Amino acid sequence: MRCPYCRYSDSRVLDSREADEGRAIRRRRSCVACGRRFTTMEEAILVVVKRSGVREPFSRAKIEVGVRKACQGRPADDDAIAALAQSVEETIRAQGVPEVSSHDVGLAILRPLRDLDEVAYLRFASVYKNFESLADFEREIASLTAGPPESSQDQPARFGNVMQTNGKVPSLGL
Ligand SMILES: [Zn+2]
């Protein structure tokens, strides 16, 4: 770990402590060359295995991009989307596994997205659950309206919305 001030390659650890409920280690260091102090964080990398087999580090930013696409034209704001991405990361990290599939990441997004915006949820679900027909949408909408009774009177309009965008969002980038 190079010193961020002088780039020297060696430093002395002054203090180590657990951070993020034991999922990370924070170290206070002192540069051997210039003596200045800096802090490093060490945590296990959470790896996402894509359908193609490619492995990449988990990215909360990517989740936000995917969810924002699904929320296009919907009232969900950036703060809500950022909070959703954070809760997805917490859910996945709480599983305590070093690797997850991109499909599992998608599934972890579905539940909080359903609470955030039902139309965005249906768009997202149509990709992740491989909806192929009107019947798939109808089944999903039936399960939505069978859930906590919120607003079921404007259902036909919302359904129209979903069908319009279905096909325009073939990939959510995850
Ligand atoms: Zn230095």
The pLDDT assigned to 131 comes to 79
| Most confident residue range from 5-9, 45-49, 91-95, 128-132 | 5-9
9 Cα: distance to centroid of ligand 1 (angstroms): 8
134 Cα: distance to centroid of ligand 1 (angstroms): 63
Under 8 Å between Cβ of 92 and 108: yes
pLDDT at 150 over 60: no
54 Cα: distance to centroid of ligand 1 (angstroms): 37
Beta strand ranges found along 4-64 (DSSP E): 11-19, 24-31, 37-43, 47-49, 55-57
**Mean pLDDT of the 86-107 span:** 90
pLDDT at 85 over 90: yes
With bands split at pLDDT 50, 70 and 90, how would you rate the model's confidence at 22? confident
**Mean pLDDT of the 34-42 span:** 95
State how far the Cα of 64 lies from the Cα of 172, in Å rounded to an integer: 10
DSSP 85: H
**Mean pLDDT of the 47-70 span:** 93
